[in-house]
């Protein structure tokens, strides 16, 4: 009888330990998920701040017959390149370039979704130098150049710039393979830069 009692006690103790481990593991997963969501939101807001600052100054200090936007290449879903005159932190005119590069893919069901990185460059003399950008977790980054009536136009006729992006929050990684269960943070804005409106195209 004593042996049976001891066996029962060991079984009960093991169950308690396993339940405690399970609760702790779930708490850890929740904590990690919350932390990664916070980091994802922070990265998205930092990117949004950079875009708002840059795009509000498109056409900074250009001459009346000078193009504010010097290059623009966009695919059906995502930007490829946006290049324009803007302003640095000290109030000097600089040329800025955004390039969107594919850096990885993630499997969602049977579909492979590309992950992008927005690369930002500033022109120093004749040389383009890396100067910021986004995390390499964008699933979409689209730019529209618009008229005053919000119609899509070429770079010479643009008066407004609309940006739409998605940033993926990855919950965890497993041996370098990104897991399917992630959340998408979306952000968009339409900006009417003063210089683009008043001076672009003469």
pLDDT tens track for 64-79: 888 999 999 998 889 9
The answer to whether the CB of 121 falls within 8 A of the CB of 158 is no
Give me the percent of the chain exceeding a pLDDT of 70.
Answer: 73
Say whether 41 sits in a helix, a strand or coil. Answer: helix
Find the farthest-apart pair of alpha carbons in the chain and give their distance in angstroms, rounded: 100
Give which of 66, 102, 106 is closest to 195, Cα–Cα: 66
16-20, 27-31, 126-130, 194-198: segment of lowest average pLDDT: 27-31
CA distance 10 to 46: 54
Q: How far apart are the first and last CA of the chain?
A: 99
The mean pLDDT of 141-155, rounded to a whole number, is: 94
Domain locations in the chain as residue ranges: 39-199
pLDDT-based confidence at residue 99 (cuts at 50, 70, 90): very high
Say whether 54 sits in a helix, a strand or coil. Answer: helix
């Amino acid at each position: 009888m004593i042996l049976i009692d001891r066996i029962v006690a060991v079984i009960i103790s093991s169950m308690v330990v396993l339940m405690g481990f399970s609760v702790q593991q779930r708490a850890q997963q929740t904590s990690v998920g919350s932390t990664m969501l916070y980091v994802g939101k922070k990265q998205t807001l930092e990117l949004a701040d950079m875009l708002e600052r840059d795009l509000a100054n498109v056409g900074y200090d250009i001459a009346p017959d000078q193009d504010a936007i010097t290059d623009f290449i966009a695919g059906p879903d995502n930007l490829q390149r946006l290049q324009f005159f803007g302003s640095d932190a000290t109030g000097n005119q600089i040329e800025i370039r955004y390039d969107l590069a594919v850096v990885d893919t993630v499997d969602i069901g049977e579909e492979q979704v590309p992950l992008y990185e927005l690369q930002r460059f500033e022109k120093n003399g004749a040389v383009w130098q890396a100067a910021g950008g986004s995390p390499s977790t964008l699933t979409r980054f689209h730019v529209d150049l618009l008229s005053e009536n919000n119609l899509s136009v070429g770079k010479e006729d643009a008066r407004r710039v609309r940006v739409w992006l998605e940033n993926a929050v990855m919950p965890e990684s497993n041996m370098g393979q990104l897991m399917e269960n992630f959340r998408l943070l979306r952000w968009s804005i339409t900006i009417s830069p003063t210089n683009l409106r008043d001076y672009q195209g003469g």
